Chain A
Amino acid sequence: MNKLLYKLEAYLKMSVSRREFMKILIGGLVYFLSENQFLKFAFAKNSDAMPRVKKSIDCAHDLVAVKGLNSGKNVEKAIELLGGIEKFVKKGDVVLVKPNMAWDRSPEQAANTDPQVVATIVELCYKAGAKRVNVFDIPCNDDRRVYENSGIQKAAEEKGAKVYFADHWNVLKAKFPYKSAMEDWPIVRDAVVCDTFINVPVLKHHGLTGLTLSMKNLMGVCSGTRGLIHIDIAKKLVDLTDFINPDLTVIDATRVLTKNGPSGGSLKDVINLDTVIASTDPTLADTYACKLMKKDPMSVPYLKEAFERKFGKSNLEKSDIKELTI
């Protein structure tokens, strides 16, 4: 200890020549400059992403809506009528199932997707030979509470899915071929780098857009200050949907929150529709869900925007829709 102190004292009292001083100065500058470069090299690698390419799938119908008391069976039937899960999931695929689990609410309160629906989709994917099924969302409440209380973590893990928390450092910057307000928005890597993207939103009320649907659910893969998406939400959501390009959209309308959305909390606001909607076209699925809630699709800003941009099919009468009640 004393030796150390002595050395320290000797070091501090050492005289420094001009040449040495310049050396130290330049050395320090080089260090500070190179450190920044090093960090850039280490952490900013491969961080740009081009839009996901959608699989071109010929389905038996454009949209299938199945009504029945068991939500799990509804999903099975709906996907079967679309042409079977094998059309979407090939052997050895990495599948992302993106439910809406944003709120610290129980399944009965209808703020999150029904766990049964998610579990059934996971099971179907594994049956079709998927290598790995990921389930995640970036919730609005604390993720530990949300994953547990929504019941999705338990239900999906029982079927073998990997349920994890999204890391905000593991993101890619979205790049668009056209001018977009969502340019450079950080999007979780696993949402872009996956073979099949299955979007599983829940149908519920929302203060700004009227209804929360599949396009709104895609906000869950965005990192960053997500509140800013709400400004000029219509354009940004259509751009985002165009970027992610979900292969399959399964809207869960088993329990529907009709008021005080999107978080809800009161059981009085929940009604049972017992319906599951499946489609490859997110716009069509959302438009049908609006009809289910007896709401004009043009009153939902992003559906209006999608209609104007001719993004997906917006016309229900011209589409091939299969309705079924079990």
Chain B
Amino acid sequence: MKKLIIARKFFQLLFLGLFIYVIWSTTYPLNSAISPKLLFRLDPLIMFFTSLSIRQWIEGVSFSIIIVAFTLIFGRYVCGWICPVGTINDIIGIVNKNKWVLSPGLNANIIKLKFYILFIVSFLAILGIQAAWLLDPIVIFARFVSLNLIPASTFVIDKAFAFAIKNFELYGEFYDFYRYLSKNLLGIKIYFFENSESSLSIFLAIAIFPLLIPRLWCRALCPLGALFGIFSRFSIFQRVVNKCTDCKKCLNKCRMQAIKEDISYKKNECVLCMDCVYVCPVEGTSFKFNNKKQHFNPAKSKGTISRREFLYILFVSLPSLGFVNKKNKIDITEYKNVIRPPGVNNEAKFINTCVRCGNCMKVCITSGLHPILLKSGIEALWTPQLVPEIGYCENNCTLCGEVCPTKAIPELKLEQKKKEKLGLAIIDESICYPHSQGKQCIVCEEHCPVSDKAIKLKDTTIKLKNVTMNNGEVIKLPYVDKDLCVGCGICQNKCPVRPIRAIRVKGKL
């Protein structure tokens, strides 16, 4: 009985399921047992470096310190037993039984890469740029689940039911079941998030690696793994070899290639997968609390990055200083293209604080928040923007602020949020029905949620040069009150003019 391996697999699947459950339940009315914020607040990489780069203590940092504290005892247990990306790596690895074993020299070189990445991230954080979001596995997987997996599975379920119901005329109990499903279980209304394919490609790359090399991502690139690796050097829960027949089975079996030729192991590489315990033919390997030095020479397993390499990284990461942006204050009089979620008033701070976890996009009740690519510069990749054509900002809703783990979107009271300006609606008089064609249309005014309407109507007699039919009639012309408009975008969402809407919201940035 491989008790420890069964336990590991159980916990891996449990945490993977839990992870997907928490993200799936991040939707209105937000009543899941586990707060979606907690998921990311347990991640020391994004929490610590976000806190460092914005020079502010974020609530979640204390949570992540607990995780790191356990690392001091158990080593990289998170990578082997909890991390969903690690689990995905292991599951996909099952497909190919004969995976490559890298030569020790090559392996020693590629495992350094993750420390390079971690150093660059920390160096940038000290300078005030948060770059942890780019390669943090938790965030990558969370984005995959909320932007790709859940919308795609909703698409399949919806279409299958729609096909069955319409084609076989199952308008009875079966339709009721689908209605129950769509009301209570499928918490998302759209099947595709704009620009989510770029974020998906990173996840797919991670998922393809293990077909050839087991856990290549965890070994070579994962900065979170590197962070745990640094701390796990002090761990007291260690691998102990009592008997050895030099068969080197464990050496080839180890998914992290953490075992050296002399059967000692690199503590900062081991993810405690427990494979070596059971592969040993003489059952001489075990994991124990052990404070003593092992029989191998400790000098050999010292830090994996030399001083020269450190200086080299420092030098290489200097050009990234170009990303320090100057958009510290936004001039509200000038409205541009990107509409940020409510409460975001400092673009530079927002980009630094946002960890791109995709929580706000998943939770947005109208699914109006979508990741952007390069609209606001490369440093703002995958940050949320409001796309009013797809979904507007619901006036009585504060969900996005409630789920943001780093408070990049501030948690506002409802009264305060209603006053928050996202942008300004501007009527395009060249295509608007009443303005350009003299037809009655008040859809934008009708939907305006501000109590004293921000879009007002003015009775006007039509005098249009190119329209002769309705000339002379009195119709209602809409116009926008700049002081009252909050830029929620419902007018753009409901405007009947196609393909370009006649009323469009300009963001503050």
Q: Which residues of A contact B (CB under 8 A)?
A: 1-2, 42-43, 45-46, 104, 140-142, 144-145, 148-149, 162, 164-165, 167, 169-170, 189, 206-208, 225-228, 230-233, 260, 262-266, 269
Say yes or no: A142-B183 contact (C-beta < 8 A), given A207-B457, A228-B496.
Answer: no
B179 and A208 form a contact (CB under 8 A):
no
B163 and A42 form a contact (CB under 8 A):
yes
How many Å lie between the Cα of A230 and that of B433 in the bound state? Answer: 11
Question: For A169, what are the chain B residues with a Cβ–Cβ distance below 8 Å?
Answer: 162, 166
A170 and B166 form a contact (CB under 8 A):
yes
B496 and A104 form a contact (CB under 8 A):
no
Say yes or no: A104-B396 contact (C-beta < 8 A), given A1-B98, A227-B441, A260-B453.
Answer: yes
The verdict on B242 contacting chain A, using a C-beta distance below 8 Å, is: no
B446 and A266 form a contact (CB under 8 A):
no
Measured CB to CB, the closest approach of chain B to A114, in angstroms, equals 20
Measured CB to CB, the closest approach of chain B to A93, in angstroms, equals 16
A1 and B442 form a contact (CB under 8 A):
no
The verdict on B395 contacting chain A, using a C-beta distance below 8 Å, is: yes
Measured CB to CB, the closest approach of chain B to A139, in angstroms, equals 11
The verdict on B451 contacting chain A, using a C-beta distance below 8 Å, is: yes
Question: For A164, what are the chain B residues with a Cβ–Cβ distance below 8 Å?
Answer: 179, 183
B167 and A263 form a contact (CB under 8 A):
no
Partner of B447, one of A140, A170, A189, A269: A140
Question: For B457, what are the chain A residues with a Cβ–Cβ distance below 8 Å?
Answer: 207
How many Å lie between the Cα of A1 and that of B214 in the bound state? Answer: 14
A227 and B495 form a contact (CB under 8 A):
yes
Question: For A165, what are the chain B residues with a Cβ–Cβ distance below 8 Å?
Answer: 179, 182-183
Question: For B98, what are the chain A residues with a Cβ–Cβ distance below 8 Å?
Answer: 1-2
Interface residues of B in 53-103 (CB under 8 A from A): 95-96, 98
Question: For B163, what are the chain A residues with a Cβ–Cβ distance below 8 Å?
Answer: 42-43
The verdict on B211 contacting chain A, using a C-beta distance below 8 Å, is: yes
A-contact bits for B130-171, CB 8 A (1 contact / 0 none): 000000000000000000000000000000001101110101
B440 and A162 form a contact (CB under 8 A):
no
Question: For A167, what are the chain B residues with a Cβ–Cβ distance below 8 Å?
Answer: 162, 182
Interface of chain A, helix or strand or loop or mixed? loop
Residue among A2, A142, A230, A264 with the highest chain B CB neighbour number at 10 A: A142
A145 and B397 form a contact (CB under 8 A):
yes
How many Å lie between the Cα of A141 and that of B366 in the bound state? Answer: 9
B167 and A266 form a contact (CB under 8 A):
no
Q: Which residue on chain B has the smallest CB distance to residue A153?
A: B183
The 7 A-B residue pairs with the shortest CB-CB distance in the complex, in nearest-first order: A227-B496, A265-B451, A227-B443, A266-B451, A208-B442, A1-B96, A164-B179
Residue among B165, B439, B441 with the highest chain A CB neighbour number at 10 A: B441
Measured CB to CB, the closest approach of chain B to A46, in angstroms, equals 8
Q: Which residue on chain B has the smallest CB distance to residue A266?
A: B451
Q: Which residue on chain B has the smallest CB distance to residue A142?
A: B365
The verdict on B448 contacting chain A, using a C-beta distance below 8 Å, is: yes
The verdict on B261 contacting chain A, using a C-beta distance below 8 Å, is: no
The verdict on B445 contacting chain A, using a C-beta distance below 8 Å, is: yes
Residue among B29, B165, B397, B447 with the highest chain A CB neighbour number at 10 A: B447
Partner of A265, one of B29, B446, B450: B450
Question: For A230, what are the chain B residues with a Cβ–Cβ distance below 8 Å?
Answer: 440-443, 446, 496
The verdict on B8 contacting chain A, using a C-beta distance below 8 Å, is: no
Question: For B366, what are the chain A residues with a Cβ–Cβ distance below 8 Å?
Answer: 142
Residue among B163, B445, B446, B447 with the highest chain A CB neighbour number at 10 A: B446
B166 and A145 form a contact (CB under 8 A):
no
How many Å lie between the Cα of A144 and that of B452 in the bound state? Answer: 25
B95 and A1 form a contact (CB under 8 A):
yes
Measured CB to CB, the closest approach of chain A to B502, in angstroms, equals 10
A231 and B440 form a contact (CB under 8 A):
yes
Question: For B450, what are the chain A residues with a Cβ–Cβ distance below 8 Å?
Answer: 265
Measured CB to CB, the closest approach of chain A to B236, in angstroms, equals 40
A-contact bits for B423-445, CB 8 A (1 contact / 0 none): 00000000001000001111101
